[in-house]
Chains A and B, each alone.
Chain A
Amino acid sequence: GENVEQHPSTLSVQEGDSAVIKCTYSDSASNYFPWYKQELGKRPQLIIDIRSNVGEKKDQRIAVTLNKTAKHFSLHITETQPEDSAVYFCAATFGTASKLTFGTGTRLQVTL
């Protein structure tokens, strides 16, 4: 069935270090892979996405890589800052309805 696995569930890094969150998906036909950031008490908001015809995408300090053969994709945050502290969710689309299935989330804490 449709499944997205996300690791790790919690991640603590020092300010200025890099953070990497990894996800795997089950359906080789999936073609859209967004990442959402949810700050405490707020709604999830899109921070970056990638489509299946692209291997990597960057936006300032964040980047996403996609390996379609292995069915996994990763979020990379460089030069982390305290405001990067949040829960991050990966997601993938499944089926003809482009149903969006989310991973279980990663709580990132950036310490001073």
Chain B
Amino acid sequence: EAQVTQNPRYLITVTGKKLTVTCSQNMNHEYMSWYRQDPGLGLRQIYYSMNVEVTDKGDVPEGYKVSRKEKRNFPLILESPSPNQTSLYFCASSRWDSSGAEAFFGQGTRLTVV
């Protein structure tokens, strides 16, 4: 089954404790991205990757890191989480198409930083 898998689904952590949210896709998609969803603000892009070892900042990259060492994986790293990073996070993947292509989303990760 074609899917995007995120882990964990729920996470409560304390300020400053490094964490990683994993994302994996089995569709051989080139393009992967991370979004955060906050009430009234929609889905805002954090980082995206057009292929292995190619990453770039989205609209709200501060406080986040990513890496793309393999095509299927795109982890999101919070080196020193703060309460304003409490949010619902989605990973998405799509095939690369300069005219646009459907994005497939993971199940979401609800992160609370206390």
Contacts and interface: CB of A to CB of B under 8 A. Distances in A.
Interface residues of A, number: 24
A43 B42 contact: no
Interface string B13-53: 00000000000000000010101000011111100101000
A98 interface: yes
B70 interface: no
A57 interface: no
**Contact residues of B: prevailing secondary structure:** loop
A74 B21 CA distance: 34
Interface in B49-106: 50, 56, 58-59, 90, 96-103, 105-106
B33 to A, nearest CB: 7
Nearest to A4: B42
Contacts of B98: 96, 98
Contact of B43 (A31, A51, A102): A102
